[in-house]
Each structure stands twice: as C-alpha cells, then as structure tokens.
Structure 1
C-alpha cells in the first residue's frame, strides 16, 4: 500500500495547527511558550498510521480518509490543552476520528453519494474471506450496521484491537461492547451464510 504520509502528513498537522492558532493570537503565544505544538506533533506522529487505517476502513477512499484525518487533527489540536493525561492520547484521538468519520459517512449517505471501495484496504481484515467479491460484500454489510456495531467491527477486526482496548476507546463498558459485537456478528453471519460463519470462526 502506498504510504500517504511524509511531507503531506506534516502539512496536515501544520495546517491544522495554523488554523487553530490563527483563531487567537494569545493562544498562539501560550502554545509557543509551553511547547504544546511540539508535544502534539510528537504524539500524532506516533498514531498517524493507525489513525489513517481506521479512517480508510471507515470511509474506504484515500482522499476521504486523509480529509477526515486532517479534520480530526484540527479538532484534537484545538482541544489538546484540555487533555489532562497524555497516556490517554491515543484513545482520545481515535474517539475524535471516529466522530469525524461518522459525520462524513452520515453526510455522504444523506446526499446519496455512491460509496466506492478503495483497493487500499484489501486484506486488512485478516479474519475475513480472501475472495475480492466477498470482501466488497462484507464491507457493504459492515457499512449497513448501526454505528456502534460498525465501529467495534472496524476496531477489532480491521485494527486487531482487543475488546478491552475497544471498550476504552468507545468509553463503553466491556460487557456492552461484547453484546454489540455479538449482535453485529450474528447479523453479518446471517447475511453471509455458511461462508460468513467460516470467515468469523475466530471471532
């Protein structure tokens, strides 16, 4: 898969930072004095690959994923000073990104835009079937799930996160996450039939 970062990534962060800092010259000075900009860039740099994969799994197109990542970066930078515990940065920024992706996906459906699937995420969900037509069918089915179920599927199967990690990101009790996952898998298996049951054998 072609890497979407490098100079483009720094432009995303710099643009987001400038948009925030230009809103308030006092905040600009404060951020320069405290080094918040450098800290934010460092934390984002460690999360960018996973954030991009999540956005791509959610929205399917590279351009949309990068746009969502830029918007999430903007929102996160704007609120960064409110984050009291840096160790929670990753779960916090993923939560912001999921909200951005959900907004974009909802707006796309409302406008009746066609959702075409990018080949960029072929093979990212290792628990799923290998046939390309099955993958496309599966993505369509996942897109049709309620948001709270879709996000669990993306985080667990496309990102290989544990349910405990998913629970922390979604700020949802572990038992509720398990219940929603079970409902999602039942729905997907029902649509995919025997082949679907095989695909989710490890779930």
Structure 2
C-alpha cells in the first residue's frame, strides 16, 4: 500500500471518528458503541504494557471511555480524536500508577524491536533475542514519564507533537524525555546482563 493511500485511509478514519464524537456529544449511543469497539482493544493492549491485571485494565478502559461519553462535547478539534482519547487513557493510567504502585511490568509487543534497536542498534540477531528480555526489565525501571514517552512513540506511533498534547507538556520536554530514556536503556542493558556498564549520564527530565 502506498504512503498516499495510507494517509488517505488515516484521514478517512479520523473524519469518521470525529463524526462519532460529535454524535456522542448528542448522547448517540450507537455512535458510542462504534467508538467503543474501535478503541477498546487498542487501549487494552496499551494499558497491558503497564499491568498484567485484567480487572485493572478493564477498569481503566471503561473509565477512559466513560469520560469520552461525558465530555465529548468539550472536544475542540485541537488534536486528532485518537490523540484526545489516548490523552484521557494516559491520565487514567498515571492516576492508577500513583494511587496503586505495584511491581514494574513491561508487556511484550511488536514495537519492542524498534525500541531495542534504539538502545542497541549494532547487536546481532541472536544477541537481540537475549537483549529483548533485558529491555522489558529496563523499560520497567524507567521513570514513569520517560517510559510513557517511549511507549507512546514506539508502541502507539504518536509524534512528538501528539505526545506533548497527551502529556500536556512542551515538545522540547518530550524530546528530552525520549533522549534521557534512550541513555538510561543503553546504560541499563549491560548492567542487566552482568557486564561492565558504560559511563553513566545524567538522565533526569
């Protein structure tokens, strides 16, 4: 599929979601059911990267979509509908992490390979298989804001501008968090493998 066709499909999907959201603002339950089916799986998979508890995931997904139902009329079109909804899920997740801190978890997914390449771009395929497990642990050790930035960028494919809207911060802050997260991962991977770690860089954002 060409990039032009992909862009057209994304534009069509965004327009459809905007129509649903406008209908939801008028309390249209059918439109809400469409949007619910569209986002339930995506949000569930994203949130599962932070907790393995299905009941907690379902609670956060339902809370996110309940907020969408109640506040659809407040959407002003300053971002994509997708970005707006993910922003609501992000706030639900951060509240959950603050209120109920738990053992750090990191869910495996197709985008892990991309993050792994950023952390260790020159490793062989066999070596990367071993590093993949370390990456899961390394991601779990990142500060929440840095980890969230990486997840939004690599797992959900959000741009720096979209992440800034989701996290309510400046684009420069997003880029700084991403940089420091990569530094932490590069430093952490050798430590997890029992090797001498490279010089430590400051990684606070």
TM-score (norm 2): 0.62
* Cα distance in 2 for residues equivalent to 1:32 and 1:97: 18
**What's 2:36 paired with?**
44
Secondary structure of the structure 2 residue equivalent to 1:182: helix
1:104 aligns with 2:96: yes
Given the superposition, is the C-alpha separation of residues 32 and 151 from structure 1 closer, same or farther in structure 2, using an over 3 Å criterion?
closer
Q: CA RMSD in A?
A: 3.3
Worse overlay, 56-65 or 172-181: 56-65
Q: Determine if contact 2:164/2:171 at 8 Å carries over to the other structure.
A: yes
Gap runs ≥5 in structure 2: 1-22, 118-127, 199-205
* Cα distance in 2 for residues equivalent to 1:32 and 1:169: 21
Gap runs ≥5 in structure 1: 1-30, 198-203
Structure 1 residue 106, shift from structure 2 partner: 2.7
* Cα distance in 2 for residues equivalent to 1:165 and 1:116: 25
**What's 2:15 paired with?**
none
Q: Determine if contact 2:146/2:178 at 8 Å carries over to the other structure.
A: yes
**What's 1:18 paired with?**
none
**What's 2:161 paired with?**
164
* Cα distance in 2 for residues equivalent to 1:159 and 1:122: 11
1:76 aligns with 2:68: yes
Aligned pairs, number: 161
- 1:67-123 Cα shifts (integer Å, max 9, x gaps): 2211212222222232233963211111111111122223332xxx445666xx344
1:174 aligns with 2:161: no
TM-score (norm 1): 0.63
1:186 aligns with 2:180: no
**What's 2:7 paired with?**
none
Given the superposition, is the C-alpha separation of residues 186 and 39 from structure 1 closer, same or farther in structure 2, using an over 3 Å criterion?
same
